[in-house]
Amino acid sequence: MSAATTGDGAADGSGAADRGVAEGVYRFGTRRINWYVLEADDGLTVVDAGLPAHWPQLGDWLDANDYGFDDVEALVLTHADADHVGFARKLADRNVPVYCHPEDLSHLRGHPQGAPGWFYRNLWRPAFLVYAVELVRDGITSVEPLPDAEPLADGETLPIPGEPRVLFAPGHTPGSCALVVEDRDALLCGDVLATRNIFTGREGDPQLLGPADEDHEEARASLARLEGLGTVTLLPGHGSPWRGEIETALDLAR
């Protein structure tokens, strides 16, 4: 299956390229911000919801691949930062269940007014300034809150298409989680790990988000929760896919 590629511009679904990044897993968003769709025999699961301007990408891909919104069975939020919640309310309004860890419900119900201090302290960096402009342009200030969500629990295999297993890995936010799709060796890790440095724009090895973590030491300690997964395709919220042994990824991030 194929649909639009992404780039520096707004996430409008223009262009044509294969979005597949693992068996039955498709990547959307832009080169700086990712969200994904899991495809299974019993329907589709959306993982994270990018920014509001990314919404047309989902509809375009569904149309191009003979799906409808009725085929979307669930939205799972790896955490509730605004650049992952973008169009969640639109799916919730279509009666799609939204899953989120209870520790991030306060984020989901109402994002804080104004950006955190680390955001302003890094605006002097050219690559980060471009990222910040993209956030504003694609609607981060208009992300709609959700009053509630289905809870994620550590170790739970969710009864939704793809049957992702939840790994609770707090630190980036109090409720940050990663999702393992066992039969595809896919690890959708949200912001538990990244392969793009949002401050310099460089892509490469798995890494922590550093100053962007709410509790960086806890984020580092949570890496232990990913141990033992073997060979994975790492699919982060920021950056390109990375494939290899999880222990190598964790050593690089540490």
Per-residue pLDDT tens digits for 230-245: 999 999 999 999 999 9
Tokens representing 134?
A: 């993209």
Average pLDDT on 111-123 reads 81
Give the burial class of 148: count Cβ atoms within 10 A of its Cβ; 0-12 exposed, 13-18 middle, 19 or more buried: exposed
User: What is the structure's pLDDT at 10?
Assistant: 41
At residue 118, the pLDDT reads: 85
Please tell me the least confidently modeled range out of 17-31, 51-65, 204-218.
17-31
Residue type, 102: P
Cβ 44 vs Cβ 37: under 8 Å: yes
C-alpha dihedral sign at 203, 205, 206, 212: negative
CATH topology for the 20-253 domain: Metallo-beta-lactamase; Chain A (3.60.15)
The mean of the pLDDT values for the chain is 91
pLDDT band at 112 (very low <50, low <70, confident <90, very high): low
Q: Kindly provide the residue ranges of all beta strands, DSSP E only, lying in 3-151, ordered along the sequence.
A: 20-22, 25-29, 34-40, 43-47, 72-76, 98-100, 150-151
CA–CA gap between residue 134 and residue 144 (Å, rounded): 18
- Confidence tier at 13 by pLDDT (50, 70, 90): very low
Average pLDDT over residues 96-125: 89
Global pTM? Answer: 0.92
- pLDDT category at 110 given cuts 50, 70, 90 is confident
pLDDT band at 173 (very low <50, low <70, confident <90, very high): very high
pLDDT tens readout for residues 66-98: 999 999 999 999 999 999 999 999 999 999 999
**pLDDT score, position 138:** 97
What is the predicted pLDDT for the residue at 16? 37
- At a CB cut-off of 8 Å and minimum separation 6, what does 144 contact? 88, 89
**Interacting residues of 222 by C-beta distance below 8 A, sequence separation 6+:** 169, 170, 171, 176, 192
What percent of the chain has pLDDT above 90? Answer: 87
242 beta partners: 234
Does the pLDDT value for residue 195 go beyond 60?
A: yes
CA 241 to chain centre: 12
Domain extents for the chain?
Answer: 20-253
Give the pLDDT of residue 3: 34
pLDDT(181) > 90: yes
